[in-house]
Amino acid sequence: MVILENELMRAHTSFKVGGPARFFVKAEHMDDLKNALALAREKGLPHFVLGNGTNLLVSDKGYDGVIISLAGDFSEIADLGNGKFKVGAATPLGRFARHTLKQGYAGIHKLAGIPGTLGGAVYMNAGAYGQEVGNCCTGVTVLDAGGNIRELPAAECCFGYRQSIFNYCKEIPGQAGDDNGKIILAATFQLQSASSQELTVADLEAELAECMAKRKATQPLNMPNAGSTFKRLEVGAATMPTQIAPGYYIEQTGLKGYRIGGAEVSTLHANFIVNAGNATAQDIKNLSEYVQSKVAEKFGIQLQREIILLGNFEG
């Protein structure tokens, strides 16, 4: 088991910001994971399970706890036949999505451009272009707060828009560190064969290529970022909700290109904040709050942060 002390989190987040983690453990086997949790208990520190850090803003002061990064045994994809797969939490979502596509299965192939892990994707119920991880997930294997391995059927995972049982009971939306302590170890999926939808593998590949081209054209992929800063807004009746992109309101508020320190509202996509060079985590947080206040002032709408904050911030 690799244990690092004072490991800078900027090396592990797509924003490329974040101070030192008191302990950073790479857990390749179940024993490593249990030992990492024991280390946290022994030191009286909290723990935090890191995926690929692509939806995460870690404080400049770092994290006074144990960061657990799953790898090794947690990165396996098992083909169980007939479109059923069991996938380890550390598996890159893109690898799994492309694996299913090549085997001729549809359902998550359009998600191949999301840069997170399977664990992060289940936690967030990641989605794009009409597909969501939760739609074809049949169950999640977790290590619960009592140290027991449990199988949660998908119905108990409460998948919703960027929500799951793993994050929705937080007291402060968008704030990490108060979740229900379940560590996602793996998840099972049931996908439909492309042929059952009268599609070929080439059709799925063409659909994915279209999604990737849209990402390239609309997202600031050449600058450090963490994807959408804010969640889409649900308007209309509960029976027929419509989602509105926050980027529309941010753009209408004239904030594209607005900067605080090294953090900038992307000039390409207003719902992305980018690290335009030497941004601090505090700059990014301050800019997200400035955007929230300006949109609230102009439209009376409260944008909800999608990006998760970890560690202590000022203000």
* Residue pointed to by tokens 């995460």: 56
- Which of residues 22, 52, 163, 305 is near ligand FAD by CB under 6 A? 52
Residue 96 CB contacts under 8 Å (≥ 6 apart), including other chains: 77, 85, 87, 108, 118
76/90 Cα distance (integer angstroms): 8
Distance from C-alpha of 106 to C-alpha of 199, rounded to nearest angstrom: 9
Contact set for ligand FAD, span 250-289 (CB under 6 A): none
Q: Does 291 bind ligand FAD (CB under 6 A)?
A: no
Helices then strands, each counted (H, E), the chain: 7, 21
- Distance (Å, whole) CA 165 – CA 124: 10
Structural contact between residues 305 and 253, judged by C-beta atoms closer than 8 angstroms:
no
**Choice from 67, 87, 124, 265 touching ligand FAD (CB under 6 A):** 124
Distance, CA of 266 to CA of 259 (rounded, Å) = 9
C-beta separation of 84 from 188 below 8 A: yes
C-beta separation of 161 from 231 below 8 A: yes
Q: Judged by CB under 6 A, which stretch of 19-27, 44-52, 153-161, 195-203 contacts ligand FAD?
A: 44-52
Task: Pick the piece of the chain touching ligand FAD (CB under 6 A) from 108-116, 152-160, 199-207, 242-250.
Answer: 108-116
Q: Which stretch binds ligand FAD (CB under 6 A): 19-27, 120-128, 252-260, 293-301?
A: 120-128
* 226 forms part of the interface with ligand FAD (CB under 6 A): yes
Could you say which of 59, 228, 266, 288 is catalytic? Answer: 228
The answer to the question of residue 53 lying near ligand FAD (CB under 6 A) is yes
Verify binding: residue 225, ligand FAD, rule CB under 6 A: yes
Q: Is 69 a catalytic residue?
A: no
Residues 167 to 186: which contact ligand FAD by CB under 6 A? 176, 183-184
Tracing tokens 């770092």 back to the chain, one arrives at 62
* Residues with catalytic roles: 162, 228, 306
Give the footprint of ligand FAD on this chain (CB under 6 A): 14, 48-56, 70, 89, 114-117, 119-121, 123-124, 126-128, 166, 176, 183-184, 219, 221, 225-227, 308
